């Protein structure tokens, strides 16, 4: 293989402490995928040979070129010059009793912040942004830090997140932004993105939320009957159910966009998980309260102590133009163990809520008082060893109890953050992996002992095996089940009883694949987690949040995907809000600004099918609709979220007369449709001999996904534009627009 380098290249004699870059000339196709993504300019194009050449003197060993080259034509040898990550300040609390002191303090000084910012490569195609569920402009805000401009850094973050102070503290950056950093993908230590984000949020004042001016409130062009008064193009009115991270994301984007927002929260305090589920030593109360203080100041109507039932969810669309369901996964998982119904067996929600109140008020938790009056410390058994379990155990320690955490998973496969595990162990929590409770025993109806058995797990994703043999017996005063939560069944019904998956198959989008995020699928810093697949799955869920799941009703966060992280939920709430602001839906009797939006998805771009689709599009435009004609293969969630109605135009293929149906690409596309939430749909097909069952098959697929077929027409070679109902394009356009759900009146 030939090696093509610049004359100044030192690839062959580069010192061992410096990387060298080689280009295999017989493989290089001159596509420049590597050179456009190289952050240091170490790769350029030789216009005479139309191949890339490398300059090792400027190479830093980040290996983006290796990851992005589709022909494996670039090879980098030697170390990555990532530099040393600045130390982060952690406080070891010597006196745990009643302590609410935050244990992680992030970056200590401006000097450290500047040093860490200097490690960022400012990548042209930053994989860290893809790894962030909110798509924060990470190079942008770090560049502002490097310039000493915290206000600009804060402004950059505010474009995509409303919770920089929260997410910087609670995000598991190792499997998100930092795990997707170029340095991490190269096998080295990434930039401390979370700590830099916290440095900005803690040192630059959080400004008030800037809200857009309400839309024009002048009367609409024509009167619409509405209880004796004319409808007006008034301010969009949206209800948000739930005040956790998903509700915060939705409410912040909606009120910033000029909408009138009412939030319903069943608890006495707003914030959901941020308030009751994360202790003060991880998320201080002042930081957890800040989002809702800002939102209320911006005009959000926050109604606390107001539970919305499943029946209420069906009624809210009559009182609001749009509804965002942002309720969390609130049903605790319980281990089906004998004795699980004894007194003194709690779930994590109950314990964390009570512990939060006790620590805040400097009181003792009654359940942790010395059970026999001897003054000995109560013993708490926590079932689970994830992050929530660590919060439970560490809170119990601060309330004077001994704490044991057991988890049947092997330590190598457990999802707990290593820093939380280390902090818990340093505070005296006894953490035992490969162990599970097989029986709880009581005295006088109250839990008193637990039988613990060893387990074995051979690989990740495989259910551990409970081993036979002797069990260990522990004297216990309280058991807390902290194994996670599930979504209430009534919320699942909003999406047909299923959750949107965050793991998707198929070939990644070229833009994702070209970024190189999949080239090192499981970096060591990311705890060997597949950061590319995880990021792509989160993006799929965020995109799905833009679609209404029922009539003018959007679902986000836990209710959409199951238990979600804080940043995922916030990002989904924000995406749903953006879709609502774009659609500007209105409840019956209120005029909606602009015409109805119709998406025409065409399988064929030429010939009869395209001509018929264009004729229908012309009729829709003539009737005042806003129409987009898009190739069917280019229609995805974003396009469907834009539309009020859908036209599917295809052609018939198959054997002559028998076994004919829609084109295979159309059938596959229809089978993959997301929920259409009652969207009106018109079907159009063209045929040579016979349409057969083409239209019925298409109708069945659309209706299976919740769409309403309001018009269907088949056109043969000799068909004229006039159909049984008159001129076919005009008739189909009228049927479609007449049933658009958001049409005034």
Per residue in 422-475, pLDDT (tens digit) is: 999 999 999 999 999 999 999 999 999 999 999 999 888 789 999 988 899 999
Integer Cα distance of 681 and 702 in angstroms: 8
pLDDT band at 532 (very low <50, low <70, confident <90, very high): very high
| 139-192 residue pLDDT tens | 999 999 999 999 999 999 999 999 999 999 999 999 999 999 999 999 999 999
SS3 category, 74: strand
Integer Cα distance of 661 and 676 in angstroms: 22
pLDDT beyond 90 at 297: yes
pLDDT beyond 90 at 96: no
Model pLDDT, residue 347: 92
pLDDT band at 506 (very low <50, low <70, confident <90, very high): confident
Integer Cα distance of 571 and 246 in angstroms: 7
pLDDT beyond 60 at 232: no
Q: What percent of the chain has pLDDT over 70?
A: 91
Model pLDDT, residue 8: 36
pLDDT beyond 50 at 325: yes
Section 23-48 average pLDDT: 92
Model pLDDT, residue 14: 54
Alpha-carbon dihedral sign for residues 402, 406, 410, 414: negative
Section 509-521 average pLDDT: 90
Integer Cα distance of 678 and 427 in angstroms: 54
Integer Cα distance of 518 and 717 in angstroms: 48
Section 326-339 average pLDDT: 87
| Burial of 632 from C-beta contacts in 10 A (0-12 / 13-18 / 19+) | buried
Sheet holding 322-325, edge to edge: 301-304, 260-265, 237-241, 322-325, 553-555, 548-550
pLDDT band at 11 (very low <50, low <70, confident <90, very high): very low
Q: Are 428 and 404 in contact (CB under 8 A)?
A: no
Q: What is the DSSP string of 584-636?
A: ----TTSPPSSPPEEEEEES-SSHHHHHHHHHHHHHHHHTT-EEEEEEGGG--
Q: SS3 sequence, 244-271?
A: CHHHHHHHHHHHHCCCEEEEEECCCCCC
Mention every residue, 6+ apart, whose C-beta is less than 8 A from residue 206. 154, 165, 290, 294
Model pLDDT, residue 548: 92
Mention every residue, 6+ apart, whose C-beta is less than 8 A from residue 715. 608, 612, 684, 685, 686, 687, 728
The residue whose two tokens read 């009737």 is 623
Section 712-723 average pLDDT: 69
Residue 489: enclosing H or E segment and its boundaries?
helix 489-492
Q: Are 660 and 693 in contact (CB under 8 A)?
A: yes
Model pLDDT, residue 371: 67
Structure tokens at 688: 């040579």
pTM value?
Answer: 0.90
pLDDT band at 668 (very low <50, low <70, confident <90, very high): very high
pLDDT beyond 70 at 657: no
Q: What's the first-to-final CA gap in the chain, in angstroms?
A: 72
Section 408-418 average pLDDT: 88
Model pLDDT, residue 167: 97
β-pairing, 104-106 vs 89-90, is antiparallel
The region of weakest confidence among 46-55, 93-102, 217-226 is 217-226
Model pLDDT, residue 722: 38
Integer Cα distance of 60 and 82 in angstroms: 8
Integer Cα distance of 112 and 87 in angstroms: 8
Integer Cα distance of 682 and 703 in angstroms: 12
Model pLDDT, residue 356: 92
Give me the long-range contacts of 99-105 (CB less than 8 A, separation at least 24).
99/281, 99/398, 100/279, 100/280, 100/281, 100/284, 100/285, 100/359, 100/360, 100/398, 101/281, 102/280, 102/281, 102/282, 102/284, 103/281, 103/282, 103/423, 104/169, 104/282, 104/419
Section 230-248 average pLDDT: 84
Model pLDDT, residue 214: 61
The region of weakest confidence among 323-332, 428-437, 629-638, 723-732 is 723-732
Section 617-632 average pLDDT: 91
Integer Cα distance of 542 and 665 in angstroms: 25
Sheet holding 478-481, edge to edge: 345-347, 478-481, 379-383, 402-407, 430-433
Task: Provide the CATH topology of domain 597-738.
Answer: Rossmann fold (3.40.50)
What residue ranges in 191-330 does DSSP mark as E strands? 237-241, 260-265, 301-304, 322-325
Give me the long-range contacts of 73-76 (CB less than 8 A, separation at least 24).
73/23, 73/24, 73/25, 73/27, 73/28, 73/29, 73/34, 74/21, 74/22, 74/23, 74/24, 74/28, 74/34, 74/43, 75/21, 75/22, 75/23, 75/24, 76/19, 76/20, 76/21, 76/22
Integer Cα distance of 745 and 544 in angstroms: 29
Task: Give 466 or 372, the one with higher predicted confidence.
Answer: 466
pLDDT band at 227 (very low <50, low <70, confident <90, very high): very low
Q: Are 280 and 100 in contact (CB under 8 A)?
A: yes
Assign domain 345-486 to its CATH architecture: 3-Layer(bba) Sandwich (3.50)
Model pLDDT, residue 15: 62
Structure tokens at 372: 């026999």
Structure tokens at 403: 């704490």
pLDDT beyond 70 at 410: yes
pLDDT beyond 50 at 711: yes
pLDDT beyond 70 at 724: no
CATH number of 20-77, picked from 3.30.110.60, 2.60.40.10, 1.10.287.110, 3.30.70.20? 3.30.70.20
Integer Cα distance of 192 and 187 in angstroms: 15
* All structural domains of the chain with their residue ranges: 20-77, 345-486, 597-738
Question: Dihedral (C-alpha) 299, 304, 306, 307: value to the nearest 10 degrees?
Answer: 110
Among 446, 100, 116, 425, residue whose Cα is nearest residue 286: 100
Section 615-631 average pLDDT: 91
Q: Are 295 and 240 in contact (CB under 8 A)?
A: no
Model pLDDT, residue 4: 39
Q: How far is CA 332 from the centre of its chain?
A: 22
| 556-584 residue pLDDT tens | 999 899 888 999 999 999 999 999 999 99
């Amino acid at each position: 293989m030939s090696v093509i380098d610049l004359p100044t290249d030192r690839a062959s004699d580069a010192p061992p402490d410096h990387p060298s870059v080689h280009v295999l000339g017989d493989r290089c196709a001159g596509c420049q995928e590597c050179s456009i993504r190289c952050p240091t300019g170490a790769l350029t194009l030789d216009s005479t040979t139309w191949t890339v050449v490398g300059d090792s003197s400027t190479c830093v060993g980040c290996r983006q070129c290796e990851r992005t080259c589709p022909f494996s034509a670039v090879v980098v040898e030697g170390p990555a010059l990532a530099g040393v990550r600045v130390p982060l300040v952690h406080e070891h609390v010597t006196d745990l009793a009643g302590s609410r002191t935050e244990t992680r303090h992030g970056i200590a000084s401006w000097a450290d912040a500047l040093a860490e910012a200097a490690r960022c490569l400012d990548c042209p195609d930053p994989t860290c942004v893809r790894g962030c569920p909110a798509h924060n402009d990470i190079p942008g805000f770090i560049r502002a830090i490097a310039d000493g401009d915290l206000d600009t850094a804060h402004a950059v973050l505010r474009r995509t997140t409303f919770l920089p102070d929260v997410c910087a503290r609670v995000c598991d950056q190792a499997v998100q932004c930092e795990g997707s950093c170029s340095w991490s993908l190269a096998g080295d230590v990434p930039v401390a993105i979370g700590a830099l984000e916290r440095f900005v949020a803690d040192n630059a004042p959080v400004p008030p939320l800037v809200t857009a001016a309400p839309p024009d409130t002048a009367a609409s062009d024509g009167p619409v009957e509405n209880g004796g008064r004319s409808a007006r193009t008034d301010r969009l009115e949206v209800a948000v159910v739930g005040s956790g991270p998903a509700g915060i994301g939705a409410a912040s984007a909606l009120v910033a966009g000029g909408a009138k927002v009412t939030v319903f929260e069943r608890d006495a305090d707003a914030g959901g998980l941020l308030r009751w589920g994360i202790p003060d030593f991880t998320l201080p109360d002042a930081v957890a309260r800040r989002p809702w203080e800002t939102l209320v100041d911006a005009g959000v109507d926050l109604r606390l102590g107001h539970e919305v039932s499943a029946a209420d969810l069906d009624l809210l669309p009559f009182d609001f133009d749009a509804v965002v369901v942002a309720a969390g996964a609130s049903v605790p998982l319980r281990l089906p163990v004998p004795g699980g119904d004894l007194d003194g067996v709690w779930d994590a929600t109950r314990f964390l809520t009570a512990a939060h109140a006790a620590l805040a008020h400097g009181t003792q938790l009654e359940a942790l008082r010395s059970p026999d009056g001897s003054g000995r410390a109560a013993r708490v058994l926590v079932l689970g060893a994830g992050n929530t379990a660590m919060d439970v155990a560490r809170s119990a320690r601060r309330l004077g109890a001994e704490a044991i955490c057991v988890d049947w998973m092997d330590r190598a496969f457990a999802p707990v953050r290593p820093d939380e595990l280390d902090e818990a162990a340093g505070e005296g929590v006894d953490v035992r992996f490969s162990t599970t409770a097989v029986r709880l025993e009581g005295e006088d109806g109250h839990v008193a002992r637990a039988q613990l058995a060893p387990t074995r797990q051979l690989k990740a994703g495989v259910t551990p095996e409970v081993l036979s043999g002797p069990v260990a017996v522990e004297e216990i005063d309280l058991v807390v089940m902290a194994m996670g939560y599930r979504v209430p069944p009534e919320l699942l019904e909003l999406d047909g009883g299923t959750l949107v998956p965050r793991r998707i198959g198929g070939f990644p989008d070229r833009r994702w694949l070209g970024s190189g995020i999949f080239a090192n699928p499981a970096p060591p810093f990311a705890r060997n987690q597949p950061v590319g697949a995880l990021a792509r799955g989160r993006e799929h869920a965020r995109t799905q949040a833009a679609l209404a799941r029922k009539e003018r009703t959007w679902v986000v966060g836990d209710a959409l995907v199951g238990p979600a992280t804080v940043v995922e939920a916030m990002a989904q709430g924000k995406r749903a809000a953006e879709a609502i602001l774009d659609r500007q839906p209105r409840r019956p009797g209120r005029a909606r600004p602009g015409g109805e939006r119709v998406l025409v998805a065409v399988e064929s771009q030429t010939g009869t099918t395209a001509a018929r689709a264009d004729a229908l599009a012309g009729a829709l435009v003539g009737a005042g609709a806003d129409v987009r004609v898009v190739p069917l293969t280019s229609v995805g969630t974003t396009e469907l979220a834009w539309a009020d109605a859908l036209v599917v135009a295809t052609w018939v293929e198959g054997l002559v007369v028998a076994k004919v149906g829609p084109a295979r690409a159309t059938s596959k596309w229809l089978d993959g449709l997301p929920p259409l939430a009652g969207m009106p749909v018109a079907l159009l097909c063209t045929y040579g001999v016979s349409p057969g069952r083409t239209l019925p098959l298409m109708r069945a697929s659309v209706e299976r996904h919740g769409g309403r077929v309001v018009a269907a027409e088949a056109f043969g070679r000799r068909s004229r534009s006039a159909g049984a109902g008159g001129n076919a394009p005009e008739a189909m356009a009228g049927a479609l627009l007449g049933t658009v759900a958001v049409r005034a009146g």
